[in-house]
Structure 1
Amino acid sequence: MRLSGQNLKCVRGGREVFSGLDFAAVSGEALAITGPNGAGKTSLLRVIAGLLVPAEGLVALDGGDAELSLPEQAHYLGHRDALKPALSVLENLSFWHEFLGGEPKDTAGCLAAVALDHATHLPAAYLSAGQRRRLSIARLLSVRRPVWLLDEPTSALDAAGQALFVGLMREHLAGGGIVIAATHLPLGLDARELRMGGAA
């Protein structure tokens, strides 16, 4: 499987964010997108995820499921944790599992994998920032998708949470997945780097 972008150009609010950008990542590979604030890291992830339409260029996934679009084969983990505060931890994860069309799966096992099995019935409103991030990460495990698009994935995580997430990313890569992450911090993985310019 190969995910690539060719001659990508992104314009937002009448401003060119980046242009002439090429990238590629293959199964089992992590790509770290680095650069200062405003360089277009989040915009690139959103283009790959199908949330933004590039002004020029093409994003393609070769070797994936031919009947599914790239967005249907990718998870996008953004800055904000998409959770309903009034729903319990388990209800939040169950919602995303059903919404994303997941096969029958042990959602409790996904919560255990992110060390939230003790908080299953706790309303999400009571979670700390780090726990909310762990719940969002559980969504990546709940429905199997080969491409993970991660925007500052370790934000709000303590050292233990970061180590846990590194382990999950390694398992994903070992299973033939692809990780593309916009980050200011080291991923803790053997990752190639795509450095983006722009003003800080």
Structure 2
Amino acid sequence: MLQASTLKFLKDLKKNNNKPWFEKNRSVYLDAKEDWDHFVEQVIEGFGKTDSTIATLHPKDCTYRIYRDVRFSQDKTPYKTHMGAYLNKGGKKVPTAGYYLHVEPGRNMAGGGLWMPQAPELNKVRQEIDYNLSEWTRMLGDRGFKKNFAEGLGKEDMLSRPPKGYDDENPAIEYLKLKSFIVTRTFTDAEVQSKTFLKEILKTFTSMTSFIQFLNRSLE
């Protein structure tokens, strides 16, 4: 579980997203960061028993800095108001499919997949789905998968027409139009602070292992 003080820090930061306040409360931030790193470490230790590619990771390989890159953004607030971690076989900087954990008061979630891959990688995933549609649909229809990800695959920036090389008659067309292959499960603030939170994250990630392996296989 995460400490209530960690979520309180994120709530307070959202109301006071400026450098003077942050510096004044740096010790509170460091306590929250330590709490987050410890939780991510527990996720790695627990889930590494299911997915061995995760077992050798360290929190620093997966967690993100709290400082925002504001160079190309109209929003100039300097700090992120959430804590995130991306677990995959190469760490957060490697563009392969993986597992994502996001804690933000009122917007907590876990999930993962492959977000907005470049054209060569996107074409590989589409080809793998086209060639192995029965495996893909069976995986998405798995009872545990559907229980955790009731809304199914996200439809962000989905194409309105078939991608090049495919037509509307293709039985996989609803998946081939996707630009990302992502699933998510939301959690309340109370669930994040409950003693069962770690167990639920491990169950969530375990239910999507085949999904992640399918995506990464297509990229090989």
TM-score by length of 1: 0.29
User: Bigger radius of gyration, 1 or 2?
Assistant: 2
Larger strand proportion of the pair:
1
Larger helix proportion of the pair:
2
* Larger relative contact order (CA 8 Å, sep ≥ 6): 1
TM-score by length of 2: 0.27
